[in-house]
Amino acid sequence: MSFDMASIAAVLSDDSEPVQSLFTTMTGRWRASGMKVVGLLGESHGIPDRKCGAGVVRDIVSGRPFAMYFDTPPKGGSCHLDPAGLEAASTQLLDQIATSDLVILSKFGKLETMRAGLIGAFEAAAEAGVPVLTSVSEKHRAAWESFAPGAAYLAPDAAVLEGWRRGLKGRRIPDSPPINPLAP
């Protein structure tokens, strides 16, 4: 398995919520332009006083949410991350990938470093030659670079993501409307 490094990019950020919001905005723009974007966008669980921020991932095409947290952490742990939710989300996404123009996967995180979670979707996109956009935290940067050496890092900015998207080669990439820097 190997990625075309010009077609895989990550936003490096330790704060997932603004990146997921940006991914949601860009997904809407790109889909409105006719681009077939598939994947999973992260959403916070919104539960206060949790050390672990795991919430849900939502399928871009169907809108179906997949919980990725336990109500109470496993015995002896403080992380509420539930691998089964992410693996179910990844599995249901596999049939969408080969016919898509772009795959957005919420993040390459703890589970992916252990070859679990969304790893199957990352690998399916690489095998199909479909561009991938994701996020990664500094904590998991080394594992990401081992998994996708030479992948691009993008600033968390709509214009930067649009520039990367326009630079994708060999795919059906429709034009998007101009970015309004004043729009939320």
Across residues 82-92, what is the average pLDDT? 87
Residue 83's pLDDT band (cuts 50, 70, 90): confident
Q: Where does 33-166 show beta strands of DSSP type E?
A: 37-43, 56-59, 65-67, 102-108, 132-136, 152-154
Domain 5-166 has CATH 3.40.50: yes
Order of all β-strands in the sheet with 132-136:
65-67, 56-59, 37-43, 102-108, 132-136, 8-12, 152-154
Across residues 95-109, what is the average pLDDT? 95
Residue 82's pLDDT band (cuts 50, 70, 90): confident
| pTM for this model (two decimals) | 0.84
Tokens of 127: 């095998």
Across residues 61-75, what is the average pLDDT? 77
What percentage of the chain carries pLDDT values higher than 90? 59
Residue 120's pLDDT band (cuts 50, 70, 90): very high
Residue 105 near residue 132 (C-beta atoms within 8 A): yes
Residue 86's pLDDT band (cuts 50, 70, 90): confident
Domain boundaries, the chain: 5-166
Q: What pLDDT does 59 receive? A: 96
What percentage of the chain carries pLDDT values higher than 70? 76
Q: What pLDDT does 181 receive? A: 45
Average pLDDT value over all residues in the chain: 83
